[in-house]
Amino acid sequence: MNVCDDNQSGVKDTSTSTAVSWRELLSREHAGAAIVPAVGVLVGAVNIYLAASLLPTAVADLGGAGFYAGNMTIHLVAMVIATMLVSRFLARWGNVGAYLLGFGVFLAGSLVCAVSPVMAVLLAGRGVQGLGAGLLSGLDFAAVRSALPQRLWTRGNALMSAMYGVGNFVGPALGGLFAQFGGWRLAFVAMAVIAAVCGVLVPRALPRGGHGATRAPVPVVSLLLVTAATVAVSVAGVLSGAVAMAAGLAVALLLMALFVAHERRDARRVFPRSTYRPGSPLKWLYLTLALLAFGVAVESFLPLFGQRLGGLAPVVAGFFGAAISLGWSATQLVSSAAVEERTIGRLRVLGPLLLALGFLVLGLMQRQDAPVWLVLGWVPVLFVAGAGIGLAYPHLSVAVMSSTRDPEEGARAAAAIATVTSLAIAFGTAVAGALVNLGGASMLDAARYVLFGFAIVCAVGAVTARAAARTGSR
């Protein structure tokens, strides 16, 4: 039996035959179930970019510059671990209880960061924040699946994911503002207050439910393997020397291969059992989502290219990186209206191709001491690249959610979207760092290696999208 046996319409049944309006999604009946996941994404996205903007100021205040690189590693590892446990929290506490836990953990981590006397404590707080943010991230997809009718899943996912783009703008702006006035601690207090307000609203806004699923045992071995892989790839991203980075990436890939081998034969797994069945489209859907998320990692290096090649001021260059997320967010608000099966299938394939084309064109536009008009031309190209993610991502995520009618397996499938996304961004960041180092002293070479390399990798997403379509149609 393959995944289509659990869902008679299979992966193809990802939407209704008529368009669903935003008005219905935001109606009194469904608004709470749509807005809470969206706010959860927004809190996590703002926090990532807020912390990145504040960290230099915090280092100047607390010392511990040697811990600087560990900030993202700790946060990311914690996020990945939490996303892998989402279905267990849902089975135990339901939608409301799990969200209260997520916001509560995030609040606690923010307060630890705010009162940190030394950098080591700040990093511990960032780890706790990561646990809360990861739980919220995984819950967002699972809550959309369990709390909204299927006809609203695409719109719900689009609204939720659009918050990434909002966070990419709000985060650097708030972080820069607090850092400018030396109030980096107040920034974390503000995040704690936001989490507290969200926690108060959760019982009123989110429908109760999510209980009743079998409480599956914790997949300890899978957790350890993925955690080790995430640490390896994160460390690889900060190593000096292309050989050392390549070795770190090779270790991470080996650990992921061991993870897949373990999941295929062990009942304690993270991904739905149908992922590993012959003929299942789920593995191709997850791979396509991963390749799209892989491309998001370029955002971390675009400010560097803007400053070194385009002569942009740091604050301006910082917002260049958000152009991809802006294109992603804006486009999926429109693409989520697609309901025809053939159109949706084309969008899933077109998305990775458009993302790859954007990186290819941007790579061709790189120049040392580039003129202003050329640098400004990066923005629409980056927007188009992000639009590729927006075209495909909501429909791919809904296809994953629609892959089974079993509530427990469905919650696990939905929550795994966040795990795949976090892992892909971690791998993408490490690969981009390796390619930058490969450029050596030439920032122009580094930029071209990153952009051309990512164009090749992301283009593979069109192949995996086609494989998912072919497999799902059987």
Query: CATH class for domain 272-474?
Result: mainly alpha
Cβ-in-10-Å burial (0-12, 13-18, 19+) of 207 comes to middle
| Tokens encoding 38 | 């969206």
pLDDT band at 18 (very low <50, low <70, confident <90, very high): very low
What was the pLDDT predicted at 17? 37
What rounded mean pLDDT belongs to the chain? Answer: 82
212 pLDDT higher than 90: no
CA torsion 465-470-473-474 (nearest 10°) is: -140
**pLDDT beyond 80 at 334:** yes
> What's the pTM value of the predicted model, to 2 decimals?
0.81
Q: Give the domain ranges of the chain.
A: 13-213, 220-269, 272-474
Let me know the angle formed at the C-alpha of 84 by 4 and 249, rounded to the nearest 5 degrees.
Answer: 100
Instruction: Check pLDDT > 90 for residue 189.
Output: yes
d(CA 220, CA 269): 9
Token pair, residue 33, equals 């179930």
User: What's residue 14's pLDDT?
Assistant: 41
Average pLDDT estimate for 369-392: 91
Question: In this predicted structure, which of 115-124, 162-171, 343-352, 457-466 has the lowest mean pLDDT?
Answer: 162-171
pLDDT of residue 31 exceeding 90: no
Residue 351 has a pLDDT of 95
Beta-carbon count within 10 A of 267 CB: 9
Which range in 185-194, 327-336, 404-413, 465-474 is most confidently predicted, on average pLDDT? Answer: 185-194
Q: Do the two domains 13-213 and 272-474 of this chain adopt the same fold?
A: yes
| DSSP assigned state of 207 | P
Tell whether the model's pLDDT for residue 280 goes beyond 80: yes
Residues 434-459 have pLDDT tens digits of: 888 788 788 899 999 999 999 999 99
Place of tokens 């960041």: 429
Q: Residue 41: which pLDDT band, with cuts at 50, 70 and 90?
A: confident
Angle at 286 between CA 76 and CA 71, to 5 degrees: 5
The C-alpha atoms of residue 136 and residue 382 are separated, in whole angstroms, by 28
What confidence tens digit (pLDDT) does each residue in 153-181 have?
888 878 877 787 777 777 777 777 787 77
pLDDT at 348 over 80: yes
- Per CATH, domain 13-213 is 1.20.1250.20: yes
Q: Compare 7 and 326 and report the one with higher pLDDT.
A: 326
From first CA to last CA, the distance across the chain in angstroms is 12
Let me know: does 236 contact 436? Beta carbons within 8 Å.
no
More confident of the two residues 293 and 14: 293
More confident site: 22 or 235: 235
- What separation in angstroms does the CA of 315 have from each of 45, 55, 180, 319? 18, 15, 12, 7
Give yes or no for residue 192 having a pLDDT over 90: yes
Residue 291, pLDDT > 50, answer yes
Residue 15 reports pLDDT greater than 50: no
DSSP 3-state helix, strand, coil percentages of the chain (rounded to 5)? Answer: 80, 0, 20
Q: Is 80 exceeded by the pLDDT of residue 66?
A: no
Q: How confident is the model at residue 103 (pLDDT cuts 50, 70, 90)?
A: very high
The widest CA-to-CA distance across the chain, in whole angstroms, is 61
Radius of gyration of the chain (CA): 21
- pLDDT band of 139, cuts 50, 70, 90: confident
Beta-carbon neighbour count of residue 121 at 10 Å?
15
Quick one: pLDDT at residue 28? 73
pLDDT-above-70 percentage for the chain: 90
pLDDT at 3 over 70: no
pLDDT in tens, 415-436: 888 889 888 888 888 888 888 8
